[in-house]
A and B are shown apart, each in its own frame.
Chain A
Amino acid sequence: MPQVNITIDGKKIKAEAFKTVYEVATANGIYIPALCHHPALPPEGACRVCLVEIERQRALQPACTFPVTEGLVIHTNSPKVREARKFALELIISDHPLDCMTCEATGDCRLQDLAYEYGVKGNEYTGGVQHTYPIDDPNPFIQVDRNKCILCRRCVRACNYINGVEAIGIVYRGFKARIAFGMDSTMQDSPCEFCGSCVEVCPTAALWPKMSLGKGRAWQLKKIETICSYCGVGCRLNLHVRDNEIVKVTGADGPANHGFTCVKGRFGYDYVNHPERLTRPLVRRYLLEGGSKAATDHRGGGDGKNGDGLLATGNAAADFVETDWDTALNLVAHKFAEIKRNYGGDAFAALCSARCTNEENFLMAKLTRQLMATHNIDHCARL
């Protein structure tokens, strides 16, 4: 793309043609507020909070969609611009609950930030109609509170363009317009996969993780960056931690995920502090102390729950006992060697997992092929 010369607030800037005014201004350290715009999503031009004055244009123009061309002269903070932005914010607030005091998003809300910045103190249109939607989506992960929705459509775009599921849309027109899932059913009944990308981008508390409700607000949480342990993609995550408990997970900007995650990374963290989580290796007692294994007489009561049956058998020598990693791994190594010695390498087979990293899978292949001397190795991703 060719370079063009433009002027923003008196500052002469060289920019790539057809980038948006918002992109160019932001890259040059000039602040323009935005609400419906999200850098990971295609621009929408819906909220009108980013309006700027462009000379020789009939009306104010949204910075988030307006492409730069040679000679544009742009004013980002004229009185007219400020009036129009405040007008848009006042309108949004006039149909938005003013319960910031108890709202989950307080401290982490784009609308709150902008209302503060533009001095919107309350509802300028008292007596005007306000929406009262029930908050009743039955799904286990995401609370949907349409009363707080500002119809920025970030969620719609995230679902369409990031996750490619198209579970969210807009129904009805004008003041009656609202977000809807599937064929205007519930999120639960829609094609939603609960990746939470919509929650990630929602600027208010309209979409909020159910597991995080009441667990603390932005300033009370410590953000810890980590890599998701679920699979080899290696999404970068932010764990939001309070009193050593994970209360929320959001996407962090990593090369593999650019701020988004799947359902497991975002919502599958309850195992971390789960009482039944295995934190030390378990080994059957006879393997450590000798004795005979008994394959029958499960005490599980036939309820089909493997856990019970495995952990506690009728034969005390076959029960699991906790041990340390060295002991457990030594045991496995000895057993593998024994199999190879007695029956040959082909008696051994390995199935690796997509949850392992490339490096781990590579090591597994080495172990199988070089140490065990067999090609019996496969991977769950081939299924």
Chain B
Amino acid sequence: MSLLKSTDDLLSLRERAIYALGVRVPGASQPQFRNDVVVCGSTGCRSANSQQVLKALQAQIIQRELDKAVRVISTGCRGLCAVGPVMQIFPSGVFYNRVQITDVPEIVEQTLVGGKIIERLCFRDVAQNKRLAHYLDIPFYNRQLPIVLRNCGLIDPQNIEEYIATDGYLGLTKALELSPEEVIEIIKNSGLRGRGGAGFSTGIKWELCRRVAKQPKYVICNADEGDPGAFMDRSILEADPHSVIEGMVIAAYAIGAPLGYIYVRAEYPLAVIHLRRAIAQARAYGLLGENILGSGFSFDLHLKEGAGAFVCGEEMALIASVEGRRGEPRPKPPFPAVSGLWNRPTVVNNVKTYALTPRIILRGPEWFSSIGTSKSPGTAVFALTGKIRNTGLIEVPMGITLREIIYDIGGGIPKKRQFKAVQTGGPLGGCLPASALDTPVDFDSLTEAGATMGSGGMIVVDERTCMVEFAKYFLTFATAESCGKCVPCRIGGQRLLEVLTRITSGAGTPRDLDEIERISRNMREASLCALGQLTPGPVMSALRFFREEYEAHVYDKFCLAGVCKGLYELHVDADRCAGCGLCKKACSQDAISGNRKEPHVIDQLKCIQCGACVEACNLDAIVAQPRGKGVHAIAVA
């Protein structure tokens, strides 16, 4: 450990650190280790036992006396969480997935010693129907452009020197040589827009804050990430915490703030550990604290664990929570840049926004604005989930289409089912239908299409999803997370949920469709914060693009997707049924009859619509039909 007193100190440490990174640096000369094996140590792979695999691997390497030649490193998220635990071997780039402890001796013997690839552990690409051995062969990776995620899966997040080896804190040294105004100018010229959801210009936000005369000022990192299913920010904090810290120091220098806070979800224990360690290391190296790198600029950081509320991601609620008050938004203006934490000028930015800034300072605003689209430069990070083959974490240039993300990177919809909709922007976003698949993914195009960019959740659903129920799911979340301060959100959200509940239970009336629009319109206009204003988003977009489904629920009491209980009957589609009998076995009510190799039939009087047969059938032959009508149709046939 060394205290860095100047840029020169940092540069000479960087030389040593690059050497220490060994074969993970392309073309490394005389590395100490022949192979570096990186095992994903992020939450997703951890829950699939990656830590045990890592320990087994280490033990095996020591046992085989390979520990002078091979080193094992625990890194952050590799993105392909669906097939974890994953590992990659440097310098070859061989990538293994679904690695079990029992695979470890074979990996050591075959691959690390023998240099052979174990076919079984390679990623299986469904489209090409083959196993791909190398990381960069995998379409999931080769369509991506990692900037924020560039160190994920490369470096040990708990070792500051590995970050320094990958250009870490170089952006800061460059910023400290510029005046704060020049730093702000670079960020402004890069066109960087906040990655927390609203997409406000980061440079303008900093400039506003710099101009306010009050002192002290604060910088805050919004790491609350409360969207269900989203884990972009968590992965970054776990995999590359120093990139966020460096971004915050640069922001603090730009606005003139002596102190910052990272507000992190308490439900992210690993991110909290990594952040604490990273802050301690940055302090020990003199990258936080008094007189950073001899520049005369001083800045320190505190960690504040969140109180477990989605609304605390809203910047004013977040500030209230940091102050130790109940996490509730207050009306803006004044904006936090003018009056934020303890009524002082405060910049609040998202994790990804901070992680991007050192790169922009280092590589220049032109480099950044050449990526993506003119109004949304740079990359977007998404957590891809739902009915999609490759769920996981991705970073793509803005302007890429939804289709490319879902089919090329995501690998399409499993089980040969039809794509139905994609929800972006999390629970406050909106859903888009197949006709919108060629929409470019950027702040303005998504908003124009009827959804939002949000902070990076992307949920894909197939034909088996009921769009009323889907919207109701998000609405249930948003109303439960409303802080309850203002009337339109507190009571309006509840009333909107009641309307949707009526519709999904078959009690909806034509007037309810107008009610959805009336409540939504007013919630948008009248709610205090963006939570209430955007709560109707999923419902409104679903009603817009899937109105016929809403109408079928209301007029025909029919749920096409076979989800809303009581609003459908299950029937075997005789054309598709192969008579295999799997459904018959799965039915607990003995409701299904039929001879082998002949179409089966469901007895509607016995069927309780549990859906077990639907799951059991490999041919998707069991379909929902309107109640009563189905029986009639079959009788006539």
Chain A residue numbers with a CB within 8 Å of B495 are 91, 94, 125, 128
7 contacts between A and B (CB under 8 A): A46-B485, A46-B486, A87-B492, A151-B485, A153-B485, A170-B326, A173-B309
> With contacts defined as CB atoms under 8 Å apart, how many contacts are there between chain A and chain B in the complex?
109
Instruction: Name the contact of A91 in the complex, choosing from B333, B487, B528 (C-beta under 8 A).
Output: B487
User: Which residues of chain B are within 8 angstroms of A67 by Cβ–Cβ distance?
Assistant: 333-334
A192 at the interface (CB under 8 A from B): no
In the assembled complex, how far is the CB of residue A347 from the closest CB belonging to chain B, in whole angstroms? 59
Q: Are the C-beta atoms of B326 and A174 separated by less than 8 Å?
A: no
Q: Count of A residues near B, CB < 8 Å?
A: 38
Measured CB to CB, the closest approach of chain B to A47, in angstroms, equals: 6
Instruction: Report the Cα distance A127→B511, complex, angstroms.
Output: 15
Q: A84-B525, A129-B498 are in contact. Are A177 and B492 (CB under 8 A)?
A: no
The answer on a CB contact under 8 Å between A174 and B484 is: yes
If A46-B485, A66-B331, A173-B309 touch, whether A91 touches B492 (CB-CB below 8 Å) is yes
Task: Confirm or deny: B157 has a beta carbon within 8 angstroms of a beta carbon on chain A.
Answer: no
As a 0/1 sequence over residues 76 to 107 of chain A, the CB contacts with chain B under 8 angstroms (1 = contact) are: 00001001100110011011000000000000
Determine which of A60, A88, A125, A169 lies in contact with B487 in the assembled complex, contact meaning CB atoms within 8 Å. Answer: A88
B486 touches A128 (CB 8 A): no
Chain A, interface SS category: loop
Which residues in chain B, 507-564, are within 8 Å of chain A measured between CB atoms?
518-519, 522, 524-528, 533
Residue of B nearest to A171 (CB): B326
Kindly state the separation between the CA atoms of A46 and B522 in the bound complex, as whole angstroms.
Answer: 15
The listed residue (A62, A92, A169, A176) touching B331 by CB distance below 8 A is A62
Q: Select which of B334, B490, B524 is within 8 A of A174 by beta carbon.
A: B490
Inter-chain contact A48/B487, CB cutoff 8 Å: yes
Most A-side CB within 10 Å, residue of B309, B333, B481, B493: B333
CB neighbours (8 Å) of A84 from chain B are 488, 522, 525-526
Q: How many Å lie between the Cα of A153 and that of B528 in the bound state?
A: 15
In Å, the complex CA distance between A72 and B526 comes to 19
Question: What's the Cα separation between A91 and B495 when bound, in Å?
Answer: 8
Instruction: List chain A residues, Cβ under 8 A from B485.
Output: 44, 46, 151, 153, 170, 177
Given A174-B483, A175-B484, verify A46-B491 contact (CB < 8 Å).
no
User: Given A59-B533, A67-B333, A95-B491, is A172 in contact with B525 using a C-beta cutoff of 8 Å?
Assistant: no
Contact with B along A293-330 (1 / 0, CB 8 A): 00000000000000000000000000000000000000
A233-269 Cβ-contact flags toward B at 8 Å (1 or 0): 0000000000000000000000000000000000000
Q: Quick check: is B494 within 8 A (CB to CB) of the other chain?
A: yes
Q: Closest chain A residue to B497 by CB distance?
A: A175
A176–B330 touching, CB < 8 Å: no
Closest approach, in angstroms, between the C-beta of A129 and any C-beta of chain B?
7
Contact call A92/B525, Cβ cutoff below 8 A: no
Query: Across the interface, do A172 and B522 meet the contact criterion of CB distance under 8 Å?
Result: no
Interface centre among B331, B483, B493 (most CB of A within 10 A): B331
Per the bound structure, the CA–CA distance linking A149 and B483 in Å amounts to: 16
Q: Is A74 in the interface zone, CB < 8 Å from B?
A: no
* Interfacial chain A residues near B434, Cβ < 8 Å: none
Q: Does B62 contact A (CB under 8 A)?
A: no
Do B487 and A94 touch (CB < 8 A)? no
B491 and A91 contacting across the interface, CB-CB below 8 Å: yes
Q: Check if A167 is an interface residue, CB within 8 A of chain B.
A: no
Q: With a CB–CB cut-off of 8 A, which chain A residues contact B331?
A: 45, 61-62, 65-66
A205 interfacial by beta-carbon distance below 8 Å:
no
Cβ-neighbour of B493 out of A94, A153, A175 (below 8 A): A175
Q: Which residues on A sit within 8 Å (CB–CB) of B483?
A: 173-174, 177
Given A87-B526, A173-B309, A173-B482, are A128 and B488 neighbors across the interface (CB < 8 Å)? Answer: no
Task: Give the complex CA separation of A128 and B491 in angstroms.
Answer: 10
Which 9 A/B pairs are nearest by Cβ-Cβ distance?
A: A177-B484, A174-B482, A91-B491, A45-B331, A87-B522, A175-B494, A65-B331, A84-B526, A88-B487
Q: Kindly identify, within residues 137 to 188 of chain A, every residue whose CB is under 8 Å from any CB belonging to chain B.
A: 150-151, 153, 169-170, 172-177
A46–B498 CB distance below 8 A: no
Given A45-B486, A80-B525, A150-B487, 5 more pairs with CB closer than 8 A:
A59-B526, A151-B484, A151-B487, A170-B485, A175-B482
Chain A nearest CB from B334 CB (Å) reads 7
